[in-house]
Chains A and B, each alone.
Chain A
Amino acid sequence: DTAVSQTPKYLVTQMGNDKSIKCEQNLGHDTMYWYKQDSKKFLKIMFSYNNKELIINETVPNRFSPKSPDKAHLNLHINSLELGDSAVYFCASSLGLAGLGETQYFGPGTRLLVL
C-alpha cells in the first residue's frame, strides 16, 4: 500500500488554466505538507496543515489554495497558472508537527508543466 499518494503524476496544461493536485496519506498522520521543487532540485515548503488547520503559509501567491477536507487528505488548487509554476510538487505527512523532529513521508511528486 502506498503511504502517501498523489494524483496526477504528470500534469501538462496551458497558461491561465486552473488545476488541482490531490494528496492522500494512509499513515494516520496529523500533519500534511506541500512542497515545491524547482528545476535545480531546490525544495521549499508551501503549506502545512495540522488536524485540518493551516499552520504554515509560506508567502505563496493567492493563486495557490490548499484544502484539507479531513486529516488524510490535502489538496492543492492552482488558479491562473503561470509559466513559473512549472515544477515538481510534493505532498508529505508526519505524525506530529515538524518542529518536534518528526520524520516526514513524501509522495512520489506531481510534475507540472505549464506551456
Chain B
Amino acid sequence: GDSVTQMEGPVTLSEEAFLTINCTYTATGYPSLFWYVQYPGEGLQLLLKATKADDKGSNKGFEATYRKETTSFHLEKGSVQVSDSAVYFCALSDGGGAQKLVFGQGTRLTINP
C-alpha cells in the first residue's frame, strides 16, 4: 500500500540555520503531496502542497518540490525562526481511489535562539 517515510527526529537547529526535512513516498497511482505542521497543543494545518510532478509548493518561506523520479518531497527553508518549532508531517493522497491521507511519522523541529 501507499506509504510515506520522513527523516527521523527530533531535529534541533539554531535560528537562521538552513532546514531540510527529507520525505520519500511509495504510491501506486499519481499522488498529491502535502506538508502539514502541528504547533504545540494544536491541530494540523496545511503548510504547502503539490499535486503533480515538478510542482513546487511554497508558503511562509518553506518550499518543497514534487520529484517523481526520486519519489521525494523534501521540505526546505533557508533561515528558520524560533516560531517554526513544531512537528512537521509529510503526507500523500492517492487519486487512485483510496481517498485518504497517508502520513509520515512526523519530525519534531526545535529552533533555539
Do A and B come together as binding partners? yes
- Residue ranges of A at the interface with B (Cβ–Cβ < 8 Å): 4, 33, 40-45, 48, 55-56, 58, 90, 92, 97-109
- Cα–Cα distance between A108 and B38 once the two chains are bound (Å): 10
Q: Are B100 and A101 in contact (CB under 8 A)?
A: no
CB distance from A107 to the nearest CB of B (A): 5
> Which 7 residue pairs of A and B lie closest in terms of their CB atoms, listed nearest first?
A101-B32, A106-B43, A41-B106, A101-B51, A106-B44, A43-B103, A99-B99
Contacts of A106 in B (CB 8 A): 36, 43-45
- Cα–Cα distance between A108 and B94 once the two chains are bound (Å): 25
Query: Which of B43, B94, B97 makes the CB contact (< 8 A) with A107?
Result: B43
CB distance from B105 to the nearest CB of A (A): 6
Q: Are A99 and B103 in contact (CB under 8 A)?
A: no
Q: Are A42 and B45 in contact (CB under 8 A)?
A: no
Q: Are A4 and B106 in contact (CB under 8 A)?
A: no
How would residues 84 to 108 of chain B score, 1 for a CB under 8 Å from any chain A CB and 0 otherwise? Answer: 0001010001111111111101101
Query: Which of A55, A103, A107 makes the CB contact (< 8 A) with B49?
Result: A103
Contacts of B94 in A (CB 8 A): 99
- Cα–Cα distance between A105 and B108 once the two chains are bound (Å): 20
Count of residues in B whose CB is under 8 Å from the partner chain: 27
Contacts of A101 in B (CB 8 A): 32, 49, 51, 93, 95
Q: Are A90 and B98 in contact (CB under 8 A)?
A: no
Q: Are A48 and B100 in contact (CB under 8 A)?
A: yes
Q: What is the total of A-B residue contacts with beta carbons within 8 Å? A: 70
Main SS class of interface, A: mixed
- Cα–Cα distance between A101 and B101 once the two chains are bound (Å): 9
- Cα–Cα distance between A86 and B24 once the two chains are bound (Å): 30
Q: B46 in the interface, Cβ–Cβ < 8 Å?
A: yes
With A106-B44, A107-B43 in contact, do A99 and B105 touch (Cβ < 8 Å)? no
Nearest A-chain residue to B96, judged by Cβ: A99
Contacts of A55 in B (CB 8 A): 99
Contacts of A100 in B (CB 8 A): 32, 93, 95
Query: Which of B34, B42, B44, B99 makes the CB contact (< 8 A) with A56?
Result: B99
- Cα–Cα distance between A33 and B43 once the two chains are bound (Å): 13
Nearest B-chain residue to A108, judged by Cβ: B43
